[in-house]
Structure 1
Amino acid sequence: MDNNQVKILLQRYRLGLCTEEEIGAIEQWYNDLVNNNDVKLPSRELAQLDEEIKAVVFEAVKNEKEQLTPVNKKINYLRYAAAILALASIGALLFFLLPRKNLDDNMSNRAVAAIDALPGGDKAILTLGNGTTISLDSAKNGFLAEQGATNILKVNTGQIAYSANAGDQEPALSNTVTTPKAGQYSIILPDGTKVWLNASSSLQFPSKFDGLQRRVTLTGEGYFEVQHDDQKPFIVQANTTEIHDLGTAFNINAYNDEPTLQVTLVEGSANVKTGVAELILEPGTAATVKNNQMSKETADVTTALAWKNGIFQFNKASLESVMRQIARWYDLDIEYQATSNQLFSGSIYRNSKASEIFKILEENDNNIHFTINEKKIIVHK
């Protein structure tokens, strides 16, 4: 478990957002650990978490009667701190060891008040070459459709996959997968390339790649793990920018309502072209495009890929940037009655209710508040 995951649970605990299962498991681990004389405090790897962990420990002790009920009522501050730190260091924090399905079901089955909003999920529409549409989230596993001699399947993982028959002479047909607000989906393209689409995104691609290039068109945001082929380059068109695969895994954020288009390279290399500008990316670098001008910088890969890993992660983000992400994932519109110059940082799971995220944002700036009115977020003082 990485430090970012540790921070999320500590943040949920401090804000009183843990479920009964989470609290119960923390209690059990606490009682086990305080009776273990071999527990040792970690050093370097938890240095950056030190201040946050201390805050959790002291608040937990302060509110112990309300939030925790250890077997031993006489709490020793040092042993309590040792237990919490040990939990972080050995990766035994509850949220990531309890079966996720049970927690997710618990979240989704709760009654949602009118002042809250549930997160998105796996939703998408597949549009075939003849204009026929298929709702992928409600479709059953197995055969979905045929495009020429290519079969489209929904596999057990929930992805759709394309399987071309040997000797297929049928012309390729254009297919499009579109995710709505509050939707995401993953696709296995005819060449084996894997694509994850974020909310409010689309990917247009042929039912088979039979030319000299493999070309697809992206709107919104997508993460690509490309099946490399030296003889048939893979090209993603996103607005006026082209990304040429050179053996690559990369993320493209190309939402029209974002001020920039950003390509973040994870593995391999990629050639990025826009207008007359062109550059090569190496792992851990990013290309940012604005007004047909392009720059290259060190990438914040963890933040760029957070959505794919089921996390909202904000790293000195403006309120407007944060709200655009929230609006897409919860299918909400935004009304600004106030704004903030504060830059927001923090992480929280995307399966959280909207109110939990707003609670964290209000901790960053207590002069700003959020109200959900049907399908609208009102930002106000």
Structure 2
Amino acid sequence: MTFSEAKDFLTQLSKNWNQEATSVRNFIEWQKTASVEELEELDQWHREYLSSMRGQLAFDDELVEKNSQWLMQNMHDTLNKQHLLKIAYRRRNIFFKIAAVLLIALGISASFIYVKKANNKPSEILAKAKVIAPGGDKAVLTLADGRQIELDSVGKADVVLQDGAKVLKLGKGILAYKSSASAKVTYNTLTTPKGGQYQVVLPDGSKVWLNSASSLKFPTAFVGNERKVELKGEGYFEIVHNAAKPFFVKAETVNVKVLGTGFNIMAYSDEKTIKTTLVHGSVEVNSGIITQHIVPGEQASIAKGEEEFDILHPNIQEIIAWKNGEFWFNNTSIQSIMRQIARWYNVDIAYKGNLSDVKLSGVLSKKQNVEALFNILEATKQVRFKEDQNIITVTPYSGS
């Protein structure tokens, strides 16, 4: 493949990413042997071309866009500080866009991990792993009278009738409530275990996605002039607008008031902060004394035991990645990463040695088994893992 042919290939790929696998492989092989000058020129031309064609390109979708956005947002400033790293970035940026297309076309699961350690150069790995589901649609529904229903063992049908409210399992991992005008208010609790996730459609049509090791307490009917639920753990909310009946979420010491919006709340007991991240709409967060209004793209973070919120501007895709079947890390400590892994894979974590300076960034699929995920993380040569009777011991990497 020549430089001109490489440009032609990227032009065609921008318009339709369903290219022949042979053409994709030829481009990947060419970029491995191309000179730095050729790659820099191609990269500059490609960015200008995409900018001029914005809104018309296949690159706006799925894994290609996710990897491209993440690379641009999280590596650009750091890598531009050194010329060699800048060149390495440009090689990666082109390679991963095209590699992602190839992997999607061939039906292969791809994961990308990037590691940065103090005073060290970055390293990366693109890994392929067998796609299996270590976690899944698991939850227990606790009724007002204390009865418990394991939802993953219930077929698609009516689950139960409660004082004028009907509970239905709509499909795999989705529970829905329908209440009559005469329905009495009773409270149910939906609980996901470690390794579980579930979605519930509330009586007003609002939707809540529960992450692993979480619970949502809610009424079987919304009566009066407000709607109230209580969250433990993490959940993503899409609330039906009703100005006359605002929606409230209580998460430990934080209360969130909404009219109609999409937002994520993370309030795990083993995390030091409670974070409310607004995707769209408008919400108010209250800690008892302080009330803070946030707008889309903002996150209200409050340390447990404190009264004031910090307003941050996180990567929204990173915040809701769990809902989309992904782990997203952004210079994240290994301890924080392992807490997420522990919840999804239902394992316990132990540490040996000094891991305080190990921070990773990247995108990993939650659909691979834990061994495959650990292989990817170990390939960074920063950490090692040892499994013994469901206990994962994490140690610093010390060679083979």
TM bracket (short chain): 0.7 to 0.9
Q: Tell me which of 93, 96, 103 is aligned to 1:94.
A: 103
Matched, 1:352 2:344: no
Go from structure 1 to structure 2 and tell me whether the alpha carbon gap of 1:262 and 1:86 turns closer, same or farther (over 3 Å shift).
Answer: closer
Per the TM alignment, residue 128 of structure 1 is displaced from its structure 2 partner at its CA by 0.7
The 1:97/1:239 distance shift into structure 2, 3 A limit, reads farther
Does residue 1:138 correspond to 2:162, yes or no?
no
Q: Is the 8 A contact 1:141 1:158 kept in 2?
A: no
Cross-structure match for 1:29: 21
Deviation of 1:85 after TM superposition, in Å, equals: 6.8
Q: By how many angstroms is 1:173 displaced? A: 0.7
Identify the residue that residue 238 of structure 1 maps to in structure 2: 251
1:362-381 correspondence runs (5 A): 362-364=378-380, 366-381=381-396
**One-letter amino acid matched to 2:320:** L
Q: Secondary structure at the match of 2:244?
A: coil
Q: Tell me the CA shift for residue 352 of structure 1.
A: 1.4
Q: Which amino acid aligns with 1:216?
A: V
Question: For the Cα contact (< 8 Å) 1:339–1:368, is it kept in 2?
Answer: no
Q: In structure 1, what is the equivalent of residue 141 of structure 2?
A: 126
Read off the aligned partner of 1:351 and give its amino acid letter. Answer: K
Q: Please report how far the alpha carbon of residue 33 of structure 1 lies from its aligned counterpart in structure 2 after TM superposition.
A: 6.7
What pairs up with 1:281-292 in 2 under 5 angstroms? 281-290=294-303, 291-292=305-306
The whole-number CA distance in structure 2 between the counterparts of 1:198 and 1:346 is 20
Give the equivalent residue in structure 2 for 1:150.
165
2:209 is the counterpart of 1:209: no
Distance 1:210 1:183 in 2: 30
Match for 2:290 among 270, 277, 291?
A: 277
Deviates most, 149-158 or 127-136: 149-158
Whether the 8 Å CA contact 2:138–2:173 is kept in 1: the answer is no
Q: Determine whether 1:194 maps to 2:207.
A: yes
Encode CA deviations 1:190-216: one digit per residue, 9 max, x unaligned: 000000000000000000001221000
Residue of structure 2 in register with 1:107 after alignment: 131
How far 1:323 moved relative to its partner?
Answer: 0.7
- Asked whether the equivalents of residues 53 and 85 of structure 1 are also in contact (C-alpha less than 8 Å), the reply is no
Q: Deviation digits for residues 245-297 of structure 1, max 9, x if unmatched?
A: 13210000000100100000000010000021111110000000112331112
Aligned-partner Cα distance in 1 for 2:96–2:358? 30
Q: CA deviation at 1:94?
A: 2.8
TM-score (ref. length: structure 1) = 0.74
Tell me, in whole angstroms, the C-alpha distance in 1 between the residues paired with 2:367 and 2:246: 36
Counterpart Cα distance in 2 of 1:32 and 1:380: 39
Q: Give the aligned partner of residue 261 of structure 1.
A: 274
Aligned-partner residue type, residue 222 of structure 1? G
Unaligned ranges ≥5, structure 2 = 1-17, 28-41, 51-67, 76-86, 110-129
Query: Contact 2:21 / 2:105 at 8 angstroms: preserved in 1?
Result: no
Q: 2:46 aligns with which of 39, 43, 46?
A: 43
Percent of residue pairs identical: 38
For residues 2-38 of structure 1, give each alpha carbon's deviation from its aligned partner in whole angstroms, at most 9, with x where no partner exists.
xxxxxxxxxxxxxxxxxxxxxxxx9961357749xxx
TM-score by length of 2: 0.71
What CA distance in whole angstroms lies between the structure 2 residues aligned with 1:96 and 1:27?
8
Pick closer, same or farther for the CA change 1:124–1:53 going to 2, 3 Å: farther
Preserved contact between residue 24 and residue 98 of structure 2 (Cα < 8 Å): no
1:193-240 superposed Cα distances (whole Å, 9 cap, x missing partner): 000000000000000001221000000000000011001110000001
Deviation of the 1:313 alpha carbon: 0.6
Q: What is the CA distance between 1:338 and its match in structure 2?
A: 2.1
For this pair of structures, how many residues does the alignment match?
A: 309
Contact preservation (8 Å) 1:246, 1:271: no
Partner of 1:295: 310
Other structure's SS at 2:271 match: coil
CA distance in 2, matches of 1:314, 1:252: 17
Q: How far apart are 1:346 and its partner, in Å?
A: 1.0
Shift of 1:184: 0.5
Q: Which runs of 5+ in 1 are unaligned?
A: 1-25, 57-80, 101-105, 109-117
